[in-house]
A = this chain, B = another copy of it.
Amino acid sequence: MNDHPSLTLATFAAQLDFDSIPNEVVERTVNLYVDWLGSALAGKGARPVETIARFARAAAGATNEDLCEVLIDRGRTTPYFAAMINGAASHFAEQDDVHNGSVFHPATVVFPVALALAQAKRASGRDFITAAVAGYEVGIRIGEFLGRSHYKVFHTTGTVGTLAAAATAGRLLGLAPLQMLDAFGSAGTQASGLWEFLRDAADSKQLHTAMAAANGLMAAQLAADGFKGATHILEGAQGMAAGMSSDADPARLVDRLGSRWATAETSFKYHAACRHTHPAADALLAVVRAHRLAPRDIAKVVAHVHQGAIDVLGPVTAPRTVHQAKFNMGTVLGLVAHHGYAGMTEFEQGFDASEILVFRDKVTMTLDAEVDAAYPARWIGKVTVTTTDGRVFDGRVDEPKGDPGNTLSRDEIATKLHRLAAFSGAASEEEAAQLLRRAWGVAEVAQIGPVFDATPRTMVAA
């Protein structure tokens, strides 16, 4: 077989070695893991998450003694269903991480697979981290390869997530390079996820991440068992790019593999809203703080955004649910103006409060040439605020809170996890603290155990 970009990428993922990963990338991956745990716990009790969990338990059939942990209820199931449920859970709060350049949320599809398979195989912490990094590096590059045209219609975390999950699972299963390429083929031909659900506040986002994780894991397990995939599923004449992109660039697939660590470029989310709202939210916060403006002082806010923000947020004009509100710029800016933060609690308690609805109507989005040209490599935030007494302020942030140059500290990540676990009731304060102590050391353990190992095991009978 001749070399080609997909094979190069598959070989990288198959052969990625812990010792070749720089220390700062390992440390960042641990932070991304802990950050993900918080998002997974936050999914507990969310209707679409629990619906998928009920489906998975019934589909799995009888109770079983498998090792893999379901984080929202500490039950156990097979790797397939653990990946499915944890994948569904960890994107619900919109607090999981994002890679700017690929507009891809890696954690919610990578860690459910890494955790489930590592638990099932009793893999080491080094293998766990290595597999996660393989998933991040592969997924991010495939997202960049598919380009902006893909994201206009397709939910990249669903489509590309399937491949990231396959790379993660493939590394933990020890696939050889050609088997990894088979796994890419079986994952890529199952890649799916459309943005249409946003218009209805439908539950599809949870389905996308659940199935990206499960299908990616399946693709790798099939490959390990000899199942053949297309060798050019990404860039072939009837492959993913041919069907789902008009600006794909195969060179992006192998961009500085092994020297550029895309994993460390991943941003933590600070506000509990669609990432496309964060730059403007932080820019507004800068204006509000600098000029000590109260919400009632503000007559009008123009958010100067990139086209992708208009594509995703534009359809949501009058949000009916908390989840939909996270995709409405006016709601997010209203929460930020009133509370200085758009977190889970702020959304739940106030997304439809009368003062937020009033503020929402003061906000418009407009396409900005500078912001759009910088995107998706950089997510610049720009707002123009007009006060009721006629003053006009321009606000700007070059890196929203959580971006690599403005990242979260371990203390901030821990605080975020405590908030998320408390919000959903998935862990007590003490349990969260215990879980955090263990999770920070994940890279060093000889064997990946349960996240909640102090808790008695319960069965997850349908």
Contact = CB atoms under 8 A, between A and B. Distances in A.
A229 B243 contact: no
Nearest to A236: B196
Interface in A152-197: 152-154, 158, 182, 185-186, 188-197
Contact of A189 (B48, B60, B197, B228): B197
Interface in A202-220: 202-204, 207-208, 211, 215, 218
A59 B56 CA distance: 10
Given A186-B204, A244-B244, A228 B196 contact: no
Nearest to A204: B189
Interface centre among A51, A79, A231 (most CB of B within 10 A): A51
A194 B238 contact: yes
A230 B194 contact: yes
B188 A203 contact: no
A80 interface: yes
Nearest to A197: B230
A277 interface: no
Interface stretch (A61-69, A129-137, A334-342, A431-439): A61-69
Given A211-B190, A211-B215, A238 B61 contact: no
A237 interface: yes
A230 B196 contact: yes
Contact of A243 (B153, B188, B201): B153
A443 interface: no
Quickly give the copy total for this chain: 2
Given A60-B61, A61-B77, A196 B189 contact: yes
A233 interface: yes
A225 interface: yes
A199 interface: yes
B186 A236 contact: no
A194 B188 contact: yes
Among A58, A59, A198, A242, residue most surrounded by chain B Cβ atoms (within 10 Å): A59
A198 B238 contact: yes
Interface size class of A (residues with CB under 8 A): 35 or more
Contact of A186 (B207, B222, B226, B239): B207
Contacts of A237: 196, 199, 315
Interface string A23-65: 0000000000000000000000001100110110011111111
A222 B52 contact: yes
Interface in A286-339: 315
A452 B228 CA distance: 31
Given A61-B60, A227-B48, A194 B66 contact: no
A382 interface: no
Max chain B C-beta neighbours (<10 A), residue from A61, A195, A198: A61
25 contacts: A48-B227, A48-B228, A51-B222, A58-B78, A59-B60, A60-B61, A60-B78, A61-B66, A61-B81, A62-B64, A153-B238, A185-B197, A186-B207, A192-B192, A194-B233, A194-B238, A194-B240, A194-B242, A196-B237, A196-B238, A197-B229, A198-B238, A200-B230, A202-B230, A204-B228
Given A51-B222, A61-B62, A61-B78, 11 more contacts: A51-B226, A154-B243, A189-B193, A194-B233, A196-B232, A196-B236, A196-B240, A197-B229, A203-B227, A204-B228, A207-B227
